[in-house]
């Protein structure tokens, strides 16, 4: 199972956010694309942060008291981001996801975000592998 690579199961069309994007726009992008979070990139596509639905909720709760949504992505994104590389093992990522780690990871190659992978992608990959085990017993 260590041979199953993230590259083969990642989302190759990730939602990417910018640091100066309004939080309202970022939330719309997450909701329109049914994403739990998205990588924040600079103008060159380099990973600079991550914004989750949870991060957005915290700011939106505060903003709701005054009905003023003036925040931008950099105000609430996380700058210490766990990420994976496309040739990393799905099994290793699955083990990492057992803890209190993120549900979504940016996939980074040479500093650039090329996709994302989430728990659903990992579960599907492992399910495909397990089905193959049953079809061709050792």
Q: Which whole number is the average pLDDT over 28-34?
A: 96
- For residue 102, the tally of other CB atoms under 10 A from its CB is 19
Domain presence at residue 1: no
Task: Let me know: does 99 contact 32? Beta carbons within 8 Å.
Answer: no
Print the domain residue range for 44.
6-135
- CATH number of the domain that 61 lies in? 3.10.580.10
Q: Does the structure show a pLDDT above 80 at 63?
A: no
pLDDT of residue 133: 73
Q: How many domains does the chain have?
A: 1
Tell me the pLDDT band of 60, cut-offs 50, 70 and 90. confident
pLDDT of residue 137: 59
Domain presence at residue 129: yes
Q: What is the pTM of this model?
A: 0.86
- Nearest Cα neighbor of 104 from 59, 55, 52 is 52
Task: Let me know: does 76 contact 60? Beta carbons within 8 Å.
Answer: no
Task: Let me know: does 38 contact 14? Beta carbons within 8 Å.
Answer: yes
Q: Does the structure show a pLDDT above 90 at 28?
A: yes
Rounded distance between C-alpha atoms, residue 43 and residue 126, angstroms: 35
């Amino acid at each position: 199972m260590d041979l199953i690579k993230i590259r083969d199961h990642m989302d190759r069309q990730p939602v990417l956010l910018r640091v100066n994007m309004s939080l309202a726009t970022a939330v719309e992008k997450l909701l329109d694309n049914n994403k739990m979070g998205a990588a924040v990139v600079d103008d060159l596509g380099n990973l600079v942060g991550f914004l989750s639905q949870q991060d957005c909720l915290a700011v939106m709760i505060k903003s709701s008291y005054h009905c003023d949504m003036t925040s931008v992505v950099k105000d609430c994104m996380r700058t210490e981001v766990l990420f994976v590389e496309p040739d990393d093992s799905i099994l290793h990522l699955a083990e990492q996801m057992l803890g209190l780690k993120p549900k979504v990871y940016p996939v980074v190659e040479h500093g650039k975000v090329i996709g994302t992978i989430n728990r659903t992608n990992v579960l599907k990959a492992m399910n495909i592998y397990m089905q193959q085990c049953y079809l061709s017993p050792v």
